[in-house]
Chains A and B, each alone.
Chain A
Amino acid sequence: MGDFNNEINSLDRRVFIKGLGLVSLGVVSGLTLGGCEGCAEKIRNRPIRRRLRTGSPEVDADIETYREAVQLMKGLPSTDSRSWINQATIHGTIAGGFNQCQHGTDHFFSWHRAYLYFFEKICQELTGNPDFGLPYWNWNQNPGIHSAYQDTSSALFESRNTNDLSNVWAVSDDALNTIFDDTNFFTFSSQIEGTPHNTVHSVVGQTMVTGGSPLDPIFWNHHCMVDYCWAKWNIEMENDNPNDTAWGGTEWDHFVDGEGNPVTMSAALTTVLPLLSYQYETSAIGDSNETFSIASNREFKKIEKRVREGTNVKMDIKQRMRLSDRDSISLLTPFSSVKNISGSNFSRILNKPNFEENIFVSVKYEDLPPTNDFFVRVYINMPDANLASSIEDVHFAGSFAFFGTNKTSNEFHGSGHKRHQPNFLVNITPTLRKLRQNQLLTDNDSISVQLVPVAISGRTLSEDLSKLILNELEIIVTPIEIETKQ
């Protein structure tokens, strides 16, 4: 299993080089489910995350392994990035609040999945048990905290306000049935976070109600349940994750693997972890029962394909204004939209500080250069924006990154498959507001957009591989709040 994990990690690096988002997932699935029988076997036997409960010898063994892992992590020196405190500090601290964790953003699910994934790897490594799966605390079915966590002599103990959530509405069938009826990833995530997730933190209390909550061992089982909520909604109930490359391409590099080596994980890759790296023992959440199972390889591949591809999450677009059609752009020359849009189109949004709608620049590309790794800075009303322009400038709106897509990766999207066209969104509402505050934008002024390609640090953009085909540049207005990659 260790080899498989290494393989996944090395795949991750290859993916990182070859492309982000759906392209990268295509690479992962192509290699792991296609020609690698050994990998397929390891996927079939991946660790099981079981529901915490009494009366199950397997769960008892998982709890004992977890207790041992926690004890070992608590005994590691502070110089070891896998130590109990260092792992918790990635998330936050008791006195200082949050550090790297994602709360109130579209990466609440994905960031915590990555966090748990690498934590589980550390547990496996320290205990020498590569089959260990972190058990999840299904607070809906088992609202009491397992007795193993209440033993004051155990490494799993932490002082808490309560060990019983039986009468907590937020984890009841009524609460969860409503949330699981939601088929939109973003609003489903927001509700899971605000209702059961936050409430469990809050009601359990003490360490759990702080940014340093991972110091309480029950944190990891609680978040494992949150992760199971996502997995159940996505895999068992057949709802789709977003396929937006800006979302999927978001990545984090502040985690370490089982041996303490720094690792990188993208949001897109987190979507397939429950299919490739671990699996959940199914259980009921509200009225959604526990009958799920994957009966065959064919069925597995079908599910994997759906999970990998995601969906265009419904966006209620109130306004759509095209700034540019198909155009060939040189990477070495910044692009500025020729067509301008009057600022008066957005005055109703910008004049109210907390208007419910947001204004985005939407950039669609027809083709990407084959090898260059770069990102694109977006400026508003700065026709002379160039490589020397500061990101501190009031006209700077944000950036998005992508990495040279090796042409071979298109094989996964060719021959009958619709070819993937990268689409990026950058929220320009704050920038437009700032420009207005600084008297740099009035209703009588027009709005233009500049795109400035910038090489990833330490690399150069080469002239011979510098063509970028822009398919469409638009400004859209939507009430959906999307935490775009900045």
Chain B
Amino acid sequence: MVTKIMAIAIFSFFYNSVESCSNPDKTNQEIVDIVETQEEETINLNLGHLSYRQKIGSDKDGKGSEFIKIQVVDVTNPKLHSIAVEVFHLENGTENILGSFALYPSDNIGNFLIATQGKLNPGGMVLLKLVVPETTKQSDSVNITLKKVSFL
């Protein structure tokens, strides 16, 4: 079940709304919404929900894993906006980038590997951020559906 961290979500919603009203043609990188998910669920990242984080539960997933595997199972992007996803390790409020990937073509699904570089610690989180570098309109539809990330 998806649960939201309310304070951030509310802030994001407010920020998003204000931005949308004042500037319908905007870049989206500032907007951050954080959700967590349970196993078997899919996660949607879009212009309103730009990020997702997942706890690193065990040492096997942490120091024991070589790769983070991200499965993009569905994409809506009729205007073929450039889409990338940045992957971070989040611990004690500090984000360290581990890698990034992009969709090609920009409406194509795929499986992606990001090397952990041995940097994952149990108790930390994996943070995914959707990046749409082009200017988009409020009416633009950009959505990617991911499976819960797995550790290899």
Q: How far apart are the CA atoms of A199 and B133 in the complex, in Å? A: 11
Q: How far apart are the CA atoms of A175 and B108 in the complex, in Å? A: 22
Q: How far apart are the CA atoms of A479 and B60 in the complex, in Å? A: 15
Complex interface: chain B residues within 8 A of A198 (CB): 101-104
Q: How far apart are the CA atoms of A407 and B117 in the complex, in Å? A: 47
Given A161-B82, A178-B117, A179-B115, the answer on whether A169 and B97 have CB atoms closer than 8 Å is yes
Say if the beta carbon of B18 comes within 8 Å of chain A: no
Say if the beta carbon of A276 comes within 8 Å of chain B: no
Say if the beta carbon of B50 comes within 8 Å of chain A: no
B105 near A97 with CB under 8 A, answer yes
- A174-193 vs B, Cβ < 8 Å mask (1 yes, 0 no): 11001101100001001100
A195 near B133 with CB under 8 A, answer no
Which residues A100-118 have CB closer than 8 A to chain B? 103-104
Contact residue among B84, B102, B113, B152 (Cβ-Cβ distance under 8 Å from A191): B113
Say if the beta carbon of A197 comes within 8 Å of chain B: yes
Which residues B32-71 have CB closer than 8 A to chain A? 66-67, 69, 71
Q: What is the minimal beta-carbon distance from B142 to any residue of chain A, in angstroms?
A: 13
Q: What is the minimal beta-carbon distance from A91 to any residue of chain B, in angstroms?
A: 11
Q: How far apart are the CA atoms of A210 and B115 in the complex, in Å? A: 27
Q: How far apart are the CA atoms of A152 and B19 in the complex, in Å? A: 37
A209 near B80 with CB under 8 A, answer yes
Q: How far apart are the CA atoms of A481 and B113 in the complex, in Å? A: 12
Say if the beta carbon of B110 comes within 8 Å of chain A: yes
Say if the beta carbon of A464 comes within 8 Å of chain B: no
Q: How far apart are the CA atoms of A199 and B87 in the complex, in Å? A: 14
Say if the beta carbon of B106 comes within 8 Å of chain A: yes
On chain B, which size bracket covers the interface?
A: 20 to 34
Complex interface: chain A residues within 8 A of B67 (CB): 187
Most buried by A among B66, B82, B104: B104
Q: What is the minimal beta-carbon distance from A341 to any residue of chain B, in angstroms?
A: 25
Q: What is the minimal beta-carbon distance from A352 to any residue of chain B, in angstroms?
A: 9
Say if the beta carbon of A170 comes within 8 Å of chain B: yes
Contact residue among A201, A202, A354 (Cβ-Cβ distance under 8 Å from B147): A354
Say if the beta carbon of B111 comes within 8 Å of chain A: yes
- B125-152 vs A, Cβ < 8 Å mask (1 yes, 0 no): 0000000011000000000000100101
Q: How far apart are the CA atoms of A97 and B80 in the complex, in Å? A: 12
Given A179-B115, A181-B115, A205-B82, the answer on whether A356 and B152 have CB atoms closer than 8 Å is yes
A194 near B105 with CB under 8 A, answer no
Say if the beta carbon of A203 comes within 8 Å of chain B: yes
A203 near B82 with CB under 8 A, answer yes
Say if the beta carbon of A211 comes within 8 Å of chain B: yes
Complex interface: chain A residues within 8 A of B97 (CB): 169, 174
Which residues B70-112 have CB closer than 8 A to chain A? 71, 80, 82-84, 86, 97, 99-106, 108, 110-112
Q: What is the minimal beta-carbon distance from A166 to any residue of chain B, in angstroms?
A: 13
Q: How far apart are the CA atoms of A97 and B106 in the complex, in Å? A: 10
Complex interface: chain B residues within 8 A of A98 (CB): 105
Contact residue among A175, A197, A210 (Cβ-Cβ distance under 8 Å from B99): A175
Q: How far apart are the CA atoms of A169 and B133 in the complex, in Å? A: 12
A195 near B152 with CB under 8 A, answer no
B80 near A194 with CB under 8 A, answer no
A–B pairs, 15, beta carbons within 8 Å = A97-B105, A98-B105, A103-B104, A170-B101, A174-B97, A175-B100, A178-B115, A187-B66, A194-B101, A195-B99, A195-B102, A195-B114, A198-B101, A201-B105, A210-B80
B residues adjacent to A (C-beta < 8 A): 66-67, 69, 71, 80, 82-84, 86, 97, 99-106, 108, 110-115, 117, 133-134, 147, 150, 152
A residues adjacent to B (C-beta < 8 A): 97-98, 103-104, 161, 169-170, 174-175, 178-179, 181-182, 187, 190-191, 194-195, 197-199, 201-203, 205, 209-211, 354, 356, 479, 481
Known: A97-B108, A191-B99, A199-B100. 17 other contacts (CB 8 A): A97-B105, A161-B134, A170-B100, A170-B101, A178-B115, A190-B111, A191-B113, A195-B101, A195-B114, A197-B104, A198-B102, A199-B102, A203-B102, A209-B80, A210-B80, A210-B105, A354-B71
Q: What are the 7 tightest A-B residue pairs by CB atom distance, in nearest-first order?
A: A194-B101, A198-B104, A202-B102, A198-B102, A199-B102, A194-B112, A202-B82
